[in-house]
Amino acid sequence: MIYRRTFLQQTITTGIGLSLLNTPAKLFAQVKKAKVRVGLIGVGARGQNHLSLCLRREDVDVIAICDPDTKWAIPKSMQLISKAYGANRKVTAYTNGNEDFLNMLKRDDIDAVIIATPWEWHTKQAVAAMKAGKTPAVEVCGASDIQECWELVNTSESTGVPVFGMENVCYRRDVMAVLNMVRQGLFGELTHMQGGYQHDLRGVKFNNGQQVYGGGVEFGEKAMSEAKWRTNHSVHRNGDLYPTHGLGPVNNMININRGNRLISLSAVATKSRGLHKYIVDKGGQDHPNAKVEFKLGDIVSTLIRTNNGETILLSHDTNSPRPYSLNFRVQGTNGLWMDDLDSIYVEGKSSYDQWEKAGKPDEAGSYMNRYDHPLWKRYANDASGAGHGGMDWFVINSFIESIKRGAPYALDVYDLATWYAITPLSEQSVAEGGGVQYIPDFTRGAWINRKPVFALNDEW
């Protein structure tokens, strides 16, 4: 067990002053370590990415993996492990059904776990990890209900075990350069932001059971990887099911949970057409899945209001043919950046009413070059070849370096709970025709004094 209980948690567990249970435990203390011993829960498509990155690092020992899929996930992961570690080093695989992660968590030689499982497992597994004294890094999604978000926060506070939220887009190179621009005041005072998940997932939501992507229109038991579980969320739910890629990055720009907070949202959805059409186009009108009624609207728009007066528009658009875009727009009193058109406008610098190109980090003199974030300047080579243009390296690096240094996570349990909460609240809002939903303050008031910690320098 690597976690020292802080004074605050000692006070709670010794029963002096129960009212402290309502105070956020900001004092999570990790013990510094030279090497982090990691277990992975869920080694499907995403878990294998994380596994590869862990295997590349000299400061990580992969101790165990856990996944009930012995046909694909476990053999593929074991191949990666033996390629990196050779035949003599033993890494244990826990494969005995959905609850075997509990056995993995009983080990006393694991410090941290990475959770990359279907959405419905994240909270259960993160809570069990915290209770077992292992600090979890949890993949992104949205919660099933608000209670889940509170469970994450309450367990983290009561056990003193910190949680890392694996929002990799926060580490995207252009997004970090824009964060740098924001912090240097280029856009003036921010007023409005946009972000979202606009990704044609039809080939992810359906496959033929033999390959991860496309090749058929099956989902559920006849399919593999995400089509096995993710598509069912589109059958039963109507809201922003994947809010974090758009929200996480812009939250860092306006210091959400650190001097600012999300207050309320209102969401609306279009009709649902794309998934049904895809099944008919690819599988024919007579395919049994052509009878499935999908609840998820093709495009869900969620408008969020913050305490400090900004608005954030999130879009969730995963059922239609379209090129990938996270739809970022970051706008202030002095100008704005939009990623779709690679465009930027800064009053006093840009010609009146004319967009400029934001450019690329390797284009001398471009905005992206001049404002390239110090972390990327320092670590671009280490990140090279890692998933999603390198940002996946940064997310693992941030998790591991924080543990090694005994430092607070840059993306913590309050961030995770806030991101996750958007999903059930947007579902509720859509069901009420756009009715306003209030977003809980998971910090219980501590946001007023908490200070920004995300990527303040070039360290990690």
Ligand X SMILES: NC(=O)c1ccc[n+]([C@@H]2O[C@H](COP(=O)([O-])OP(=O)(O)OC[C@H]3O[C@@H](n4cnc5c(N)ncnc54)[C@H](O)[C@@H]3O)[C@@H](O)[C@H]2O)c1
Q: DSSP code of 171?
A: G
- Exactly one of 168, 302, 331, 429 binds ligand X (CB under 6 A); which one? 168
Instruction: Please give the size of the binding site for ligand X, defined by CB under 6 A.
Output: 26
Residue selected from 5, 9, 36, 42 as contacting ligand X according to rule CB under 6 A: 42
- Closest CB to ligand X among 427 and 441? 427
Q: CB-wise, 124 or 276, nearer to ligand X?
A: 124
Residues 343-402 contacting ligand X, CB under 6 A: 388
Which one among 111, 218, 226, 427 touches ligand X, defined by CB under 6 A? 226
Stretch that binds ligand X, among 11-19, 64-72, 273-281, 303-311 (CB under 6 A): 64-72
Kindly state the tokens that stand for 107: 């080990």
For residue 26, how many C-alpha atoms fall within 13 Å in the half-sphere facing its CB? 14
For the beta sheet containing 299-306, the strands, ordered from the edge strand earlier in sequence to the opposite edge, are 356-357, 343-346, 335-338, 329-332, 190-198, 311-317, 299-306, 262-269, 437-438
Of residues 102 and 338, the one with the C-beta less far from ligand X: 102
Q: Does 110 bind ligand X (CB under 6 A)?
A: no
Nearer to ligand X, 46 or 373 (CB): 46
Q: Is 69 in the site for ligand X (CB under 6 A)?
A: yes
Per DSSP, 361 falls in state T
Characterize 92-121 residue by residue with b for buried, 16 or more Cβ atoms within 10 angstroms of its Cβ, and e for exposed.
ebbeeeeebbbebbeeeebbbbbbbbbbeb
Which CB sits closer to ligand X, 47 or 359? 47
- 68 lies in the binding site for ligand X (CB under 6 A): yes
Shortest Å, Cβ 81 to ligand X:
15
For residues 141 and 250, which CB has a smaller minimum distance to ligand X in the complex?
Answer: 141
Of 117, 155, 252, 418, which one interacts with ligand X (CB under 6 A)? 117
User: Of all residues in this chain, which one has the CB nearest to ligand X in the complex?
Assistant: 44
**Cβ neighbourhood burial of 32 (10 Å; 0-12, 13-18, 19+):** exposed
Q: Please pick, from the candidates 51, 104, 132, 141, the single residue that binds ligand X as defined by CB under 6 A.
A: 141
Residue 118 lies near ligand X (rule: CB under 6 A) = yes
Among 73, 110, 223, 421, interactor with ligand X by CB under 6 A: 73
Q: Which one of 5-13, 36-44, 328-336, 422-430 is the stretch in contact with ligand X (CB under 6 A)?
A: 36-44
CB contact at 8 A, 337 and 366: no
From the list 63-71, 348-356, 374-382, 424-432, the region that binds ligand X by CB under 6 A is: 63-71
- How much of the chain is helix, strand and coil, in % rounded to 5? 40, 20, 45
Q: Does 66 bind ligand X (CB under 6 A)?
A: yes
Q: What are the E-state strand segments in 53-165?
A: 60-66, 92-94, 112-115, 135-138, 164-165
Residue 327 engages ligand X in binding (rule: CB under 6 A) = no
If one asks whether residue 121 binds ligand X (CB under 6 A), the answer comes out as yes
* Separation of alpha carbons 208 and 216, rounded Å: 4
Both tokens of 327, joined, read 């739809």
HSE (side-chain half, CA atoms, 13 Å) at 259: 9
Nearer CB in complex with ligand X: 212/338: 212
H or E segment and range at residue 202: helix 202-205
Query: 375 in helix, strand or coil?
Result: helix
How far is the C-alpha of 453 from the C-alpha of 451, rounded, in Å?
Answer: 6
Q: Which is nearer to ligand X, 100 or 401 (CB)?
A: 100
Minimum separation from the CB atom of position 388 to ligand X (A): 6
> What residues pair up with 194 in beta bridges, in sequence order?
313, 329
Using CB under 6 A as the binding rule, whether residue 45 contacts ligand X is answered as: yes
Pairwise CA distance, residues 103 & 101, whole Å: 5
46 scored as a contact of ligand X (CB under 6 A): yes
Site for ligand X contains 44 (CB under 6 A): yes
> Of the candidates 119, 171, 376, 420, which one interacts with ligand X according to CB under 6 A?
119
Q: Do the Cβ atoms of 163 and 413 come closer than 8 Å?
A: yes
Q: Which is nearer to ligand X, 70 or 449 (CB)?
A: 70
Of residues 302 and 306, the one with the C-beta less far from ligand X: 302
Do residues 405 and 32 make contact, with C-beta atoms less than 8 angstroms apart? Answer: yes
For residue 119, give both structure tokens.
Answer: 């959405």
Number of Cβ within a 10 Å radius of residue 71: 8
195 binds ligand X (CB under 6 A): no
Instruction: Determine, following the binding rule CB under 6 A, whether residue 334 of this chain makes contact with ligand X.
Output: no
| Nearer of residues 388 and 404 to ligand X, judged by Cβ | 388
Per CB under 6 A, residues contacting ligand X are 41-42, 44-47, 66-69, 73, 98, 101, 116-119, 121, 139-141, 168, 225-226, 228, 388
